[in-house]
Structures are given as structure tokens and as C-alpha cells.
Chains A and B, each alone.
Chain A
Amino acid sequence: MQIDYHINDKFDFGLLFPVIILFCFGLAAIFSATFNNALADSNFQKQLIWGFVALIVFFITYSLPTKSFKQLAIPTFLISILLLIAVIIIGKKVSGARSWLAFGALGFQPSEFAKIGTLLMLSRFLSMNNTNINSFRDLLMALGIGFLPVVLILMEPDMGTAIVFLAMIITLIFWKGTSVFALFVVLSPGFVAFSSLFGTYYFLAALFLILVILFLFKENIFFSGSIFALNLASGFFADYVYGALKPHQQQRIQAFIDPMSDPLGSGYNTIQAKAAIGSGGFFGKGFLEGHQTQLQFIPEQWTDFVYSVIGEEFGFIGTIIMLGLFTFLFLRILKLASQSKNEFLSLTSIGILSIFFTHFIINIGMVLGIIPIIGLPLPFVSYGGSSLLVNMIMLGILANIYRTRKNYS
């Protein structure tokens, strides 16, 4: 039994196993969604090959010396920025966004690579001895590092990935120990502005929530009052901006709030995905038996809408198992992050957690129609080599941190 002890001590099966099962769910869904599609019927094999490649890369990352991640932070960040600039200039345009760099038959998204670069760089900065996140100067510095890639990604434009970066920056700063109140002050106007798009009632509800939270913080009345005023103003500002938008942009927002308002355009995918999932019922219609999937109501269902295939063909059982696997994985990473006493490694782990979680919540929320359509793949499940590879590198970093956690404690 001694051997088992050693393996468990060096390798966290709790990280890899859920991911492998999720990947297999993805393979089944990709197979089913491309089954009748002459243009994509090789996607299953491609994803399988990518899976093997990604697994090898995972083990390579796993066995690197742990200190190398910190050493790699600056070079990977600089390369990321260069690639992000390059993609804006010479990138390949795919459905409106210039986010792909092509090398012959292979293409990859610099923004995927930049996730790792930015994460390592920000973690490195925040873990430096003299960094004080509650000083205005250092907070500004941290935001500067984080926002540089965000601005470049917004220029592509790739809204979804930019949101992932923002979530990561906020999580890292939070984990570092910034004042929660400060974070609240920064974030609440955005929340109110977003709510106001849904109409007056949502706007009022959001304001009420802000009021309650302000009350709980027990800051001085004048300060709280100005923050409330700021929130109020942001709601009206959002309304003003909405009015100034071009009709097709308004339409896209409208389609999220009420998909039925444009059932053939932007709302189409949501309606069809919701119908697919809803009709799956408890047990699902069975593998290769989903009407919506097999009749290809949803274009390119094997990418961002892959969860709707699971929902239709494997039902509630399938979707809940996947939800459980993801939650298990997230809590496992969180545990790892809080175990690690090395600040850099702990921050890196929490950053990876935030990247996975943001993808997860936005993708599934979008498919279930509770979040607007933002094109983000479901980690380890959606079809796509470059995102699978980067996700497996990040998983490899986590496994690596687990391996040497005792040396750094």
C-alpha cells in the first residue's frame, strides 16, 4: 500500500478524473452533433487526436520544475502581448472577429495563450514582497497589467474572452486581499447598468440590493450616499447608451432579453437550444436520438452549444452529472489554492479556477437562456483544439502545484 500512498501524494486524481469524464461527454456530444454533417464528420476524430496531444502536454507541464512558472511569467506575458498585437494586424477574420493566427493548416487563438501569460504575470506581480494591493499605486499597477491584454482582445473584438480576463483580474485582486468594500464600489455600477437594460423593475430591484449591501457595510452616511448616487447615475447612463446604439446592436441585446422578439435571427440559437434541453426530460432521448440535434436545428452545435446536445440526448441525468463534475473540480482547485502557502502558486491556482469557472457559468448560462449569447466554449467539452490544449496546460500547472505543495509550504 506504500506505492499507492506515494502516487496519491504526488498526483491528484481528483483533478484529472473529472476532466477525463467531461472530455468523454464532449466526445459523445460531438459525435452525435456531427453525425449527419458531411462538413464536420471528421471533428470527432480530430477532437480525439487533440485529446491525446493535450494529455501529453498535461504530463509535460506536470513534470516541469515548479519554480519555472514564476520564471516564465515575464516572457510568456510579453509574447502574449506581441501575439495579441499581431493578431489584430494579420489575424484571420472568422465570423466578424480577428482572433485567429494561421500557420498553414493550423490556427490558434493568441487570446487563449494570453490567458496563461497574463495570469502568471499578474500572480507574480501580486506576490512580490512589497506589493500592497490596498495602496492606490499598486492596485493601479495590477489593473494596468491586466487591462493591457483586455484592451487588445476587445479590439479583435472578442467580448467573451475579455469578460474571462476581467473576472480573472478581479478574482486575483480579491484573493490577494483587497478591501471588499473597494471592490464593491468598483463593481456595483456595472451591475446596476446591466440590470437597467431589462426594464424599470429590474433597475429598481438592483438599486434596492445596493442599498441593502451599503447598509451592511456600515460606512459613513455621506460616503454611502455618494456611492448610491453613482449607481443611480450608471443606470440612467446605460439607458442613454442603449438609446445611442445602432439598431442591430440594440437588436442583439433585445434578443437576449426576449429571444422570441427575433426568432430567426440572434434569438434563434437560444430558442432551439432551450427547446433541445427542455425536451430531453429526465432520461434524455438517447444517444443519436435527439430531434433537435440530429436535424441540426442549431448551427455548429458541437462548439459553444455542445451542452444542449447532452441535455437533449442524455437528459437531466447527464446535465446534472456534468454539473456535479465541474463543481467537484472547482472545489478541488479552490482547496489546492488555499492549501498552497506560496503566494504566487496560490494566486495562479485561483486564477485558473476563475478562468474555468467563468467559461462554465457563461457557457451553460447562455445555453440555458439565463445569460446573453456570448461565444465562449465549455472547457474540456466543446470542440476545439487550441482551447483544449490551453485548458490542459492550466490543469497541468495545477497538478504540478499539487505535486510540490509540501516543498513550498
Chain B
Amino acid sequence: MKSEKFASASRKTFLSAIIIIGAVILGLRLFQMQILNQTSYDDKTADNSIKMIELSPRRGVFFDRNLKLLVNNIPTYTLRITPADYNKKLNEILESVLKVKPGYINNVLDQNKVYSKYLPLKIKRGINFDIVAWLEENSDNLPGVDYIVDMHRGYPAGVYGSHIFGYAKEISRKQLKKEKEFYKLGDFVGYNSIEKSYEKVLRGTKGSKFVLVNSSRKKIGDYKNGADDIPAVKGKDIVLTIEAKTQRTAEREFIGKKGALVAIEPVSGEILAMVSSPQFDLKEFSYITSKDFLNILYNDPGKPLFNRATMSVKPPGSTFKIIAAVTALDLGIITTSTTFFCNGGYTYGRLFKCHGVHGNVNVIQAIEKSCNAFFYQLILKIGINKWSEYSRRFGFGSKTKIDIGQESAGLIPYSKYYEKIYGVNWPKSILLSLVIGQGEVSVTPLQLAQYTALIANNGFAVQPHLVKGYIENNTKEFVSKNYKSFNVGIDKKVFDIVRHGMYLVVHGAGTATRLRHSKYEISGKTGTAQNPHGEDHAWFVAFAPFDNPKIAVAVIVENVGFGSTYAAPIAQKVIEEYLNSLEPDESEEVKTISLLKKTKMGEAIAN
């Protein structure tokens, strides 16, 4: 070793020795572990394995605005078999207990042969409690057979809420790859609407439990008596802005119809009811969704999965005339004494028709009678850009930022929009369709409801939302969620004038006089959206009571024709249901919430 020269033979010998000694040490260690001590290690894997069991938290539930339970969790039992420990002799007896055809278990086992036999297979879901009791009793004679409790969503209030609640399902592999920090295979995750946008609030925090298991992976005890266990923390319960009875009424009114409804409390932006029809039953999603059911949903020409209330964009029809009235009044272009003449239409290049001969009308009468001729002449004085700026102030042309994501912005054209299509000298006659809510202008039912609420509330509004707040797990205290508010910056007098017009739509010689017999003073505006592909769509926007509006509604019924005939009665029912619910219950509601704050009653409700 003393020879200090490059790559000497002694150095080679030294390195060979290191390699061989290293390999021999590892080899001896392997011999010791795998041959000499094999049994003791086997015991270790078998008898003394510490196994971590993940504890899944319970998902938060949903309450309506009066703390009525809308969405809860229902336990279901699933029978499982771990093939490695299972004896096929048990097939017969199990099949008779489960009341399934002979050969059922073999069939499931064969189908899942590719998976490890050490992992439990779900054999039958939704087994009833008698079977669970039988399994418990006979567990010693049923090696490799066990059951687990899965939670799935229930809807105890009889409210569909198809497009409000959304659904939670087992996480897909694709999503799992993106979010593997929290989820694992088999976990539930919110897929759309509230279940999705409030996923982080609802899902809670996972816990873990350490147990000692034996060779057949049966639990033989807690590790350190559970000293290291971390309990799961259940998700927060959510209080929605929805009023259950109102929502149910709205849903019932839409059975057999296509369309949407949004009802908002003007002062707070809270959505009291929201329907998109065709509706579907979320129960079908809560558990295992059958392929047939999905096929029906996907192939239905009415597109039930599409949330019409926030995503469908349609021309608003005459409901939009109020924008022009507000703009002109606010800019001082007209006053209540300004009149335009209606002789059954207005000639601008060609004759643009009105649906009657109204003579000299002022702005209030124009709204009352929905006089086209008045607005044709008015828009030519306003010009497209002012009109479009005011439309945007009311939230049209952009998303309302409702707290469930999926939403369309609609379209409010500027002059540039037409310059691009037709050049600088685009035909100004286009304005005449825009002002009566036809042509390129398009809005969502949600935007139209927000606009009605703004009119009812003198131009002040809060971003529309479905979630009022959460209930804290520990204190059971209600914590309200804050939303942005905004003001359109228009004088109250202007709103007084247009509201007067809307009052007369119902109570004067207007287009929705059928609602005048309602117990409450409803004001509104009808609209008909021209549909080049078929029957027109019926619109109705309304608010009530007149003096102190508590509810603003926008309704669209698709492909039926005139607004007042089809859409107005639905609005009326919903308004009446909600205002009825306020009258006797108002004091009680306050009581419930304050009770919830003080006592632990929330616990009882949550369970």
C-alpha cells in the first residue's frame, strides 16, 4: 500500500477488498434478516404492524335561511370482502343473506381479479341494518368479510335544488392527481355549484388513528391507547340564503316547463329561490349514479344539467325598456312631462311597429303600456353609448360574481361592436331593436333579477349570493359571510318614476293586470324575447311589496310566447309564498338564530 504510484496493483486489491467486504456485509445482513430471524420479522409484519387508518370527516350540511335542514348526510353500509382472507365456501350463505342471485359474489370477485387480493373489494352497497347486525354477530366465522359506513347526501326538505346545491361524488383519478395532498381514492369531493365552490369549507379536516393489526390485518388494539390519534374535524355547516318553501313553490311551478327563475332580497343580495328547469333529482347523484340516468340527462334536448338561471343568455325583451327610461331621466333628456307620440309605430327608414296606438305618452305611461314607439324615439336622443354605459352600471354585460362559479356575462353592445361589423356608418335603426331588448343584447335571468332588485332598492345592491354564512363547529355560532356592495349612482327620484310605471303595469292599464288581485302590491314589467328558432320566450320581472320591497324576481319561460300569460303567474306564486312566510315567522326566525348563538341547540340541528 505504500507504493505511491498511479493505479498500483495494491490499490486495485484494496478497492476489490472494499467492494467484496461491502457486498459480504450486506449479504450477511440479508442472511441474518431473511433466514435466521425470518420468523421474528414475520411476526413483526404480521402481529405488530402499526397501521394508520385515515379518519374521514363528515361533510358539512346545508340549512336554509331559517335554519331548516336542506342537505344532510345519510349513512349507508357497504359489504366488503378481502379476497386473501376470504373463503369461497361462504359464498352461499352470504348470497342468501344479501338476497342476491347465486354466483353473484364469484362474479364480483372474478371481475376484480386484477387488483391485489389484500385490498378489500366492495361487494354490495346499501345493505340494510339487519345484515349489518348479522355481520357483527358472526364476524368470527366470516374471515375477510367486513362492512364500512359511507356517507351520502340526503335532501330531507323535499327541495330539488338541482342547480343550487350541486353534488359530491367520489373523486376522479384525473382530479386526484392534481390534488393528492388532501384526497385519496374513494374520497368525496364537490363537483359543482355550492358543493364545489365551498368544498374547502364543507370537507373538514381529516384525522388519523393508529392501530395494531395482526397477520390477517384484523385490529388487535390501539397503538399507545390512541395517544397519537388525531380526530377528524367535521366540515362547517353552511347556511344558505334560500327560503325552503319559496324554493319548493318555484320548483313546483316549473315542472313541465323550460326556463328559469331567480328571486333576490333587494337589500341584501341574498338569493331566496333559484330554479333552472328542466330540473333533476340530486339523489341520483348522491350515491352511485346509474349509467341510464346519466344518459338521460346528457341526451335530453332540454339540457337539464345546464344552469339556465346563471348561464343562459337571451334577449331581455321589454323588461329592458326601463334602462332607457332611467338613462334619459338621469341625464335630464326627458322629464315626466316629456311626451312622444305613438300612432301604432314609428317610421325610421321603415315602419317600426308598436303593439297598439297609444297617442301622446309620457315615460310612466310608456312603461305601463310597454309602448315601443316612445322608446324608439327616446333611444335616438340617448345614443347607443350612454345607453350601454347605464346598462353596464346595472351589471349587464359582466358576471354578477355569484358564489357558485358557472355564470355567463351576456352582451351589451357598444358602438364599436357595430362599427366592426358594419363599418363606421352602421345603420342606427339597430338602436330601435336594442332599446326594446331585442337583437344582440342578451342577459341572464340572474342579471335581470339583480337589475330588478336595484330598481326596487334605489340603485343599491349587494353582490348576489347563495351562502349566508357558516356555523362554527365549536361554538355553534353563526358567522355571516360578507359580500361586496355597490351603488349605481342614480337619483332616488328617477327610481320613483320608473317604479311608478312598473306599479301601473299591474295596477293600471298595463300588461300584467292579472296580478292586481294578489294579496300583496306587486309591481313588474313583462317582456317577450324574440326567438328565431321557435316560439318566443316569456319574461317577467317583479318586486313586492311596493312600499318596502322584500323580494325581486326575474322569470323566464322558454318557447311559450307572451310574458304576462306564462311568466307572471309564476312570479306571483313565488312572491306570495315568500311574503307569506315572512309574516307569521319573522319573529320566530330571529328567535331561532339568537337561540342558536346562545345554546348548543345547533348541535341537535346539525345531527
Q: Kindly identify which residue among B16, B45, B185, B215 contacts A331, using a CB–CB cutoff of 8 Å.
A: B16
Which residues 255-305 of A have a CB within 8 angstroms of B?
A: 263-264, 271, 274-282, 288, 291-292, 294-295, 297
Check A368/B30 contact, CB under 8 A, given A39-B176, A263-B50: yes
Chain B residues with CB below 8 A from A337, complex form: 7, 12
Q: Are B41 and A320 in contact (CB under 8 A)?
A: no
Knowing A174-B11, A180-B1, A338-B7, say if A36 contacts B16 (CB, 8 Å): no
Contacts A275-B49, A368-B26 given; indicate if A264 touches B228 (C-beta within 8 A): yes
B15 / chain A contacts, CB cutoff of 8 Å: 171, 175, 334, 350, 353
The residue on A at minimum CB distance from B41 is A278
| Interface window among A1-9, A311-319, A387-395 | A311-319
Q: Choose one: B4, B29, B215; the contact of A370 (CB below 8 Å).
A: B29
Closest to A337 in B: B7
| A50 contacts chain B at the CB level, 8 A cutoff | no
Residues of A within 8 A of B37 (CB): 278
* Contact, CB under 8 Å: B31 / A316: yes
A275–B50 alpha-carbon span in the complex (Å): 11
Which residues in B have their C-beta under 8 angstroms from that of A315? 34
Q: Closest approach, in angstroms, between the C-beta of B385 and any C-beta of chain A?
A: 45
Instruction: Determine whether the beta carbon of A38 is less than 8 Å from that of B4.
Output: no
Contact B4 A177 (CB under 8 A): yes
A118 interface residue per 8 A CB criterion: no
> How close is B146's CB to chain A, nearest CB, in angstroms?
15
Q: CB distance B34 to A326 under 8 Å?
A: no
Asked if B580 lies at the interface with its beta carbon under 8 angstroms from chain A, I say no
Contact across chains for B35 and A291 when beta carbons are under 8 A apart = no
**B119, closest chain A residue (CB):** A36
Q: Are B119 and A297 in contact (CB under 8 A)?
A: no
CB distance from B267 to the nearest CB of A (A): 48
A117 to chain B, nearest CB (A): 23
Q: Which residues on B sit within 8 Å (CB–CB) of A176? A: 6
Pair A264/B34 contact, Cβ less than 8 Å: no
Bound Cα distance from A361 to B35, whole angstroms: 21
Q: Count how many chain A residues have C-beta atoms less than 8 Å from C-beta atoms of the other chain.
A: 55
Bound together, the chains give a CA A291 to CA B85 distance in angstroms of 12
A264 to B230, CA, bound (A): 13
Chain B min CB distance to A299 (Å): 11
Q: Distance (Å) between the CB of A15 and the closest chain B CB?
A: 15
Task: Let me know if A177 and B34 touch, CB within 8 A.
Answer: no
| A44 lies within 8 A of chain B by Cβ | no
- A316 neighbours in B (Cβ, 8 Å): 30-31, 34-35
Chain B interface residue count, CB cutoff 8 Å, equals: 52
| Contact bitstring B93-136, A, C-beta under 8 A = 1, else 0 | 00000000000000000000001101100000000000000000
Cross-chain contact B4 with A179 (CB below 8 angstroms): yes
Is the Cβ of A368 less than 8 Å from the Cβ of B19? no
Q: A327–B22 Cα gap in the complex (Å)?
A: 9
Contacts A264-B50, A282-B34, A320-B30 known; A275 to B4 CB distance under 8 Å? no
Q: Are B29 and A278 in contact (CB under 8 A)?
A: no
Bound-state Cα–Cα, A273 to B22, Å: 20
Q: How far in angstroms is the closest Cβ of chain A from B229?
A: 11
CB proximity to A under 8 Å, residues B228-268: 228
CB pair B176 A38 closer than 8 Å: yes
Question: Assuming A38-B176, A323-B26, is B44 touching A279 (CB within 8 A)?
Answer: yes
Taking a contact as CB atoms closer than 8 A, the residue among B29, B30, B41, B210 that contacts A264 in the complex is: B210
A365 contacts B26, C-beta separation under 8 Å: yes
Closest to A291 in B: B45
Expressed in whole angstroms, the minimum distance between the Cβ of A134 and any Cβ of chain B is 6
Per-residue contact bits, chain B 54-98, to A (CB 8 Å; 1 contact, 0 not): 000000000000000000000000000000000000000000000
Q: Which residues of A contact B484 (CB under 8 A)?
A: none
What's the nearest-Cβ distance from chain B to residue A398, in Å? 15
Q: Which of B18, B41, B217, B228 has the most CB atoms of chain A within a 10 A radius of its CB?
A: B41
Which residues of chain B have a CB within 8 Å of any CB of chain A? 1-9, 11-12, 15-16, 18-20, 22-23, 25-27, 29-31, 33-35, 37-38, 40-42, 44-46, 49-52, 115-116, 118-119, 173, 176-177, 180, 185, 210, 215, 217, 228
Listed from nearest, the 3 A-B pairs whose CB atoms lie closest are: A278-B41, A316-B34, A279-B45
User: Can you identify 14 A-B contacts, CB atoms within 8 angstroms?
Assistant: A39-B177, A177-B4, A177-B7, A180-B2, A274-B44, A279-B41, A281-B35, A291-B46, A315-B34, A327-B20, A334-B19, A338-B9, A353-B15, A357-B18
